[in-house]
Amino acid sequence: MPGGLFRSDDGGDSWSLNEALWRMPERKQWMGVAGGEQPGISNVLIDPRNPADIRLGVSIAGVWASTDTGATWQLINHGMYNEYMPPERSGDPIARDVHCLARCAAHPATMWCQHHNGVFRSEDHGATWDEVTAIQPSKFGFAVVAHPRDASIAWFVPAVKDERRIPVDGKVVVARTRDGGQSFEVLCNGLPQRHAYDLVLRHGLAVDDSGERLACGSTSGGLWISENGGDSWAALDARLPPIAVVRFAAM
């Protein structure tokens, strides 16, 4: 926040603002995220095969694309909608509350979006999106990660929307699809299933390069690890401060 994108060409020693994104006329229509008055960039995804190709997830401003290393930008949201806006603005292309984006590293054309009002999938680098309606136990959430090699596999952490922001029925679960969103498994083995109020934020879920090891951290300081793609989870024997981000170190 407030939706600034920065670039470094010297390994992070110095940074410069991407002026092309910052000075777009459309920025006047960007909106603040919940709890703030400014929009926030939640994801910066770079195509591993073409570093000039960038995708941004912005809350609240949708998905933006650059194919020239940030010199120019284009809004790409076709297929999404906004059920939280008045009916006449449900199709507003900028009023898209993108919570999190993920893409398959081996097949970067396949992208997943956890949106404020649902889950969406794209097979053309985000140019068009299809809603995924099979997710259970709810379509609301913040986090999504994609399998690094299999474009049909992704994981989400569903929650109750807006009113309370807690797990559905007080049970922490991870939803996994292995068929491109046609169906979902609700994974709960080892996760708290009674009086659980752990919310997993945008970057509180991670998968390693093997696609088998996952980590999940919550606002209540819970941290769980899976070694088998989410089939079962083991909790860290401690409660941490609120967790905003979990990542696996590069080996």
Which candidate, 58, 60, 65, places its Cα nearest to that of 108?
Answer: 65
SS3 state of residue 24: coil
Instruction: Dump pLDDT digits (tens) for 103-135.
Output: 999 999 999 999 999 999 999 999 999 999 999
Flag whether pLDDT at 251 surpasses 70.
Answer: no
Instruction: Dump pLDDT digits (tens) for 222-249.
Output: 999 999 999 999 998 888 999 999 999 8
- Return the residue matching tokens 């993108």: 98
Domain map (residue ranges) of the chain? 15-190
174 band by pLDDT with thresholds 50, 70 and 90: very high
CA distance 105 to 77: 21
Task: Identify the CATH class of 15-190.
Answer: mainly beta
SS3 state of residue 168: helix
